[in-house]
Amino acid sequence: MPLNTIAKAVGTPCYIYSSATLNRHFEVFQAPLVASETDHIICYAMKANSSLAILDLLVRAGSGFDIVSGGELYRALQAGANPRKIVYSGVGKLPHEIQAALNANILMFNVESADELERIQQVAQAMDKVAPIALRVNPDIDPKTHPYISTGLYESKFGIDIRDAFAVFERAKALSHIEVVGVDCHIGSQITRMQPFLDALARIKTLVQDLQKQGFQIRYLDMGGGLGIPYDAEEPPLPSEYTQAIVERTRDLDCTLIFEPGRVIAGNAGVLLTEVQYLKQNREKRFVIVDTGMHHLIRPTLYHAYQAVQAVNPREGAGFVADLVGPICESGDYLAKDRHLPEVQQGDLLALMSAGAYGYSMASFYNSYARPAEVLVKGDQYALIRERDTLEDMVRGERLPQFDGD
């Protein structure tokens, strides 16, 4: 399906996803677990990309979901998710969100603090329900990734310090409407080495064994997500290498393994298609100005992340070094800095690669720009799965106040 065809029909900017790649990535992750006859649940991390059409595709593939909000719970259920394959992470769960998750009968809550444990107890008791929980344990492992996406260090807001975990497990065991069913660990995102995963697992495994010796029925070991993908020259472990290493080291625990892949499923299954608007050169630099930017793909600005750029219809020529920038009134609005770009002219289409994860899900209305359309491709067909926002969409819900005396 040529990107030109989609651009003519839908316009730019737009996100375009490959259903074949999404299915293939899920299967590549799951196949080694099936082959090894390992009890497991794959819970796709919805924060990577929560578009309903993608969730529906993954439900059909057999996926569960890792959610971090009541809104993600709603989306998962709308997509037909099996609630018994939903785990609820996140540090700030609100009472009504906990209530909704209990009503949905999700598999378990990944509890991130002692205070959260008490709140879940209160909500469950008021509903006369028993809440299944795992504690998210922070093993103090440095995953050697960007500090904004490192979540397993002691200074992180996530999880419970492993040194305090046993006491919190004991407290959970004593609560009337809490059932301890698992242990959870997640150390970060875009991790490209195996060793941080193995170091974390070694510490978590010791904790699980100690808990089991003390009579805790630990049925689930949730190793989170975080496996990286190649954006540029990275060579992260293959999903098979990653899952095999976890399986081999946990066979004696008699636990169902839970994995929360997000980026590794969706990241390289999508592109952000954009059109060149202007070419500009001052005394210092060259710029290629396009119709998308940090409001649609914030990773380069927020994480100094690399996104590959490809010309949809390559032109002859050696190209040139320039900044690829968007229309937003911020100096931080860039998609590539000092990058050797292909030869382009006004009106040309560029594809920003590896944009299937943390693209649309982090998009905004900043500068009152509409969010892009989303398109799913299957074979030689494509479908619009989210319409481009209209000007009316941007102000929906806003009201002009009416005060006495105005």
**Could you tell me if 131 and 172 are in contact, meaning their C-beta atoms sit under 8 angstroms apart?**
no
The SS3 call for residue 193 is: coil
Distances from the Cα of 316 to the Cαs of 85, 260, 311, in angstroms?
Answer: 51, 43, 11
d(CA 118, CA 201): 27
Catalytic: which of 14, 43, 255, 329? 329
Residue 284: partners with Cβ closer than 8 Å, 6 or more residues away: none
d(CA 136, CA 97): 18
Dig out the tokens for 155 from the structure: 């200074």
d(CA 203, CA 141): 9
Q: Which residues pair with 279 in a beta bridge?
A: 288
**Could you tell me if 44 and 65 are in contact, meaning their C-beta atoms sit under 8 angstroms apart?**
yes
Query: Alpha-carbon torsion 80, 81, 84, 89, what sign?
Result: negative
Task: Encode burial over 147-159: b for 16+ CB neighbours within 10 A, e otherwise.
Answer: eebbbbbeebebb
d(CA 288, CA 276): 7
Which alpha helices (H) appear in 214-323, and where do they start and end?
Answer: 239-250, 263-266, 299-303
Dig out the tokens for 26 from the structure: 């899920």
DSSP at 189: S
Is 329 part of the annotated catalytic residue set? yes
As annotated, the active-site residues are 329
